[in-house]
Amino acid sequence: MATVNPEIDHLLRRAGFGVSALDVDIYRDMSHTRAVDYLVDYDGRPDDVDERLGRPDHALIATRDLFAPDIDIEDARQRWIFRMIHSRRPLQEKMAMFWHNHFATAYSKLAVDSGERQAAKMLAHKPGALRGPQGQIELFRQYALGNFRDLLIQVAQDPAMLIWLDGKSNTKARPQENFGREIIELFTIGVGNYVESDVYAAARVFTGWNLRGSADYRQDEYGDLNAYQEFVYHADQHDTGDKTFSFPINTSGSRTIASRSESAGMYDGIELITALAIHPETGRRLARKFWNFFISEIHAPDPAFVESVTAVYLQSRTEIRPVIRHILTSPWFTNPAMQFARYSWPAEYVVRSIREVGWQNFSVDRARSPMAAMGQQLFEPPNVGGWPLGAAWFSTGTMLARTNFAATLATSQKAFLAATVAPLAQSPQALLDALLVRVTTAPLDSAPRQALMSYLAAAGSWTGSDEQLNTRAAGLARLLVGSAEYQLV
Amino acid sequence: MDLSRRLFIRNGVATVSLGIAAPSFLTAIAEAQGIRTRNLVVVYLGGGNDALNTLISYRDAAYYSRRPSIAVPAGQVLQVGSDAAGQPLGLHPRLGGLLNIFNEGRLALVQRAGYANSSRSHFEAGDIWGTANPQSSTGSGWLGRYLDALPRPLDALAAWNTTAETPRALISGTSGVPAIPNAGTYTYASPNRGAAALQERTAAQTMASNPASGRPHLAFVNSTARGAIETLDRVALATSYTPTVAYPDGGFADALQTVAGAIVRGIGSRVFWLQTGGYDTHAGQGGGGGGAYANLMGALGDGLWAFYSDVRNQGLAGDTTVIVFSEFGRRISENGSAGTDHGAGGLMMVLGGSVRGGLHGTAASLAPGHPTLENNSGDVRYETDFRSVYARLLEQWLGVSSVPILGGDFRAGAPAIF
């Protein structure tokens, strides 16, 4: 059984990846507020999910050669899907995905620049066995509910970002606008709140924020895996002139970052990032994105929600944890009309379906290429703006990829499904009811319900034989997980 | 159901395919809707194509002084003559395929296409080219409004998007455009075989036909599921096509080959959308006519040449028009990373067997201070409103009035591309 009650189910679809059978015991007796605290205050629970990779009672991973998620992007994708299925901190993984989309960085450009292994390492390296800075996704896990200003500073110095938006070649003789533009347009205040000259000034602010390789670093596939690239501030490449913006830079209202010496020039960037982070439009922009991520994509953001979240964001000095707690306990979140009012991202859909249908002998590797066909290949967003969300996830091609993944999953769980529903499947109606407890769709109208019953009736007179159960339980799981109703969360 | 039934296994999962309806039946639908003879293939170069390195002013000294490491040497350009202002021009050396089409008189090069106060944001600019309204980057797109204007009921495959996401241009008030990025996997899978699999497909189709009244978002997702089931068999027909030429490797050429299959098989699609990325060349464009940008040009030119040759061999070049555009051009001066930042006016290309080829418009003069420049002489100022090209395509190619679709009359001053 994979349902607690409608409120907790809703919370776990939004702040996690749905309810697995194991969650029922954890959440059964919790109030909503208590469950929110449990999800938000995850630091007390161990981040032990990677240690469970390969355990037989978990989803499998495919090992082509050696499983090397620190340096092999396909393995890194497997590890992340596995983490989403099995983490004891689902909100941390959910927020890591939010930040991955917000600071959308794609592997392919990094691989062209630095080779495939270094590119994977820059995105997914978990410090431990190898030397070098943590990968970008580890940064997003670390700051999942951390301070947004601090996260922006980390992102501006993140090796993957320095390559992705060309900061590594931003010098005073030839300022590079790519990062300067996107930190304003996409990461903070957004279109409509800046002018073109702000972009040029921001590019100059970040001159000298470059990259250097470790002594053993070589730009090819066969370099030492311990080699790495890291952020460096090249003082002699920094433009020391004044930089003036159209928005206030400090609390006195000045719009200018005053000239600094080369050696102190790195503080220009800290000053600009701080100004952008505490700009109310950044709060509003994040609030609107959180509305779509946690509350609804079919209702426009309520202005009262946006102002309320922005106020918490600014009062908490850009801390995200109180913002998310505020959102999840707000009346907007608990409004029953908001249940199933979002379109699931492919990662949400795939992980939830595995958690609900089953993972017996199912390798997460089998989700990788279907997810690409659904439009979301992890570590490969289409551009710096992230994935087109909401209804844009859905087209005939991507919907077909979703329903075909449902078939792949149902096929793999055929025997498991038949065995687990057998005691409950005295009649076609009982079989459908049992599956609907396990696979939770948005409410089904009578016509689709009728279609499901007709599908069961086509099996002939119901005996509950192994043959009937094998065929129809898997067929029903495929139809439910592949239904439009299941795509909504 | 008297259609023949086929069943086969793909990747260990049974795949159900209803037998293919007779092509004559499709043609009848298509002809009834007037959608057989003329095809429009739209190619979007994602990221902001560096138009100055696509069509090169190889006698302009400022081109070389402002692009010391990324300029294409004059000796390498593929000369295409001089424009109306007397500026000698040449295509990038890797665009040999396009030179062939130009020399046949079937490639129109529309210089300095754009609009006033060009957006330098990828997203806003891409949306503006989609809405065809520089004042709005939201709402429906120009091709979506064209589809809305076609007679009802509209064939579910009237337009075919070869990318996974629906671009702004195809967003329509009433018609969902199928997105089929990989036609080869556009099949229906089931955990079962035989009768159970067919019963399942029937159930899925019934479920997807639920109008879900009061829940428009659910109705929308249902419409994508229904659209998939209803178009599976015709898409399979397109992918069964064997081309008359060898297409180059790569996703762009693969998509072009699928489009050629759809056109030759006459499955009823009239508008095709393709996208090829990598044009956001902030760094490492490459010099001496080689490097990353040259690879982009090679993939573009070789792919389009294969497509044009294939369709021409089938006797359908005269029924097919391709337009190529990007969301903006790039900065004139190179940056410190041997790349270029976001700019303004760009290049549109139109090709096909009915196109009147040649050089349209005038090149910018790249020495600072010239009136063909803007943004402190950093960028190319637009000359031809991109909407005038759309207007001509709508009126003279697709045969509809452009004014309601574009929300204004942009016919005056349109380049004579037909």
Residues in A closer than 8 angstroms to B282, CB to CB, are 165-166, 176-178
The rounded distance, in Å, linking the Cα atoms of A72 and A130 is 13
Compute CA distances B94 → A120, A199, B254, B290, whole Å: 32, 33, 19, 9
* Residue A314 vs residues A146, A361, A390, B415: alpha-carbon distances, Å: 14, 47, 27, 53
Q: What pLDDT, on the 0 to 100 scale, is given for residue B153?
A: 78
Which chain A residues have a beta carbon less than 8 Å from that of B292?
Answer: 112
pLDDT reported for residue B2: 27
The whole-chain average pLDDT of chain B stands at 89
- Count Cβ atoms within 10 A of the Cβ of residue B38 and give its class: 0-12 exposed, 13-18 middle, 19 or more buried: middle
Amino acid A400 reads L
Residue B346 pLDDT exceeds 60: yes
CB contact under 8 A, A447 and B280: no
Whether B1 contacts chain A with CB within 8 A: no
Dist. CA B237–CA B251, nearest whole Å: 20
Tell me which chain B residue has its CA closest to the CA of residue A415: B191
**Closest CA relative to residue B393, chosen from B132, B29, B100:** B132
Write the pLDDT tens digit of every residue in B235-283.
Answer: 989 999 999 999 999 999 999 999 999 999 999 899 999 999 999 999 9
Tens of pLDDT along A272-311? 999 999 999 999 999 999 999 999 999 999 999 999 999 9
Lowest-confidence segment of A128-132, A352-356, A391-395, B301-305 by average pLDDT: A391-395
In a domain, B44, yes or no: yes
Give residues 146 to 175 of B whose Cβ lies within 8 Å of A: 161, 164-166
d(C-alpha A292, C-alpha A294), whole Å: 6
ipTM, two decimals: 0.95
Whether chain A has a CB inside 8 Å of the CB on B192: the answer is: yes
Instruction: Output the pLDDT for position A26.
Output: 94
pLDDT, tens digit (0-9, with 9 covering 90-100), for A372-386: 889 999 999 988 999
Q: Which domain holds residue B70?
A: 20-185+216-406
Q: Indicate the pLDDT class of residue A113, thresholds 50, 70 and 90.
A: confident
Which of A176, A448, A483 has the CB atom closest to B336's CB atom? A176
Q: Which residues contact A333 (CB under 8 A, 6 or more apart)?
A: A11, A14, A294, A295, A327
- Report the run of H or E that residue B56 belongs to, with start and end: strand B55-56
Residues 213-242 of B with CB under 8 A from A: 215-218, 220-222, 224-225, 227-228, 231-232
Per-residue pLDDT tens over the stretch B109-161: 999 999 999 999 888 899 999 999 999 888 889 999 999 899 877 888 899 99
Give me the pLDDT at residue B184, please. Answer: 80
pLDDT tens digits, one per residue of B368-394: 999 999 999 999 999 999 999 999 999
B198 assigned to some structural domain: no
pLDDT at residue B9 in the model: 33
Maximum separation of any 2 CA atoms in chain B, in Å = 74
Cβ contact, residue pair A403, B206, below 8 Å? no
Q: Count other C-beta atoms under 10 Å from residue A254's C-beta.
A: 13
Q: Do B196 and A483 touch (CB under 8 A)?
A: no
Q: Which residue has the higher pLDDT, B220 or A290?
A: A290
Give per-residue pLDDT as tens, B166-206: 889 998 876 678 888 888 878 899 999 999 999 999 999 99
Q: CB–CB of B83/B362 below 8 Å?
A: yes
Q: For A455, which of B182, B199, B215 is closest by C-beta distance?
A: B199
Model pLDDT for residues A414-456, shown as the tens digit of each residue: 999 999 999 999 999 999 999 999 999 999 999 999 999 999 9
Mean pLDDT for chain A? 95
Sign of CA dihedral A288, A293, A296, A297: positive
| Helix (H/G/I), strand (E/B), else coil: A363 | strand
CA–CA distance, B121 with A182 (Å, rounded to integer): 9
Nearest residue to B58 via CA among B37, B75, B41, B70:
B75
Domain for residue B3, yes or no?
Answer: no
Number of domain units in chain B: 1
Residues 92-121 of chain B whose Cβ lies under 8 A from any Cβ of chain A? 120-121
| Per-residue pLDDT band at B3 (split at 50, 70, 90) | very low
DSSP A53: T
All residues of chain B having their beta carbon less than 8 Å from the beta carbon of residue A408 are 11, 13, 189
DSSP A29: T
pLDDT, mean of residues A150-171: 97
A vs B, Cβ pairs < 8 A, gives 199
pLDDT of residue A462: 96
A220 falls in which pLDDT band (50, 70, 90)? low
Place of tokens 């509950």: A464
CATH number of the domain to which B39 belongs: 3.40.720
Our CA dihedral for A332, A333, A338, A340, rounded to 10 degrees, sits at: 160
Minimum distance, in Å, between the CA of residue B280 and any CA atom of chain A: 10
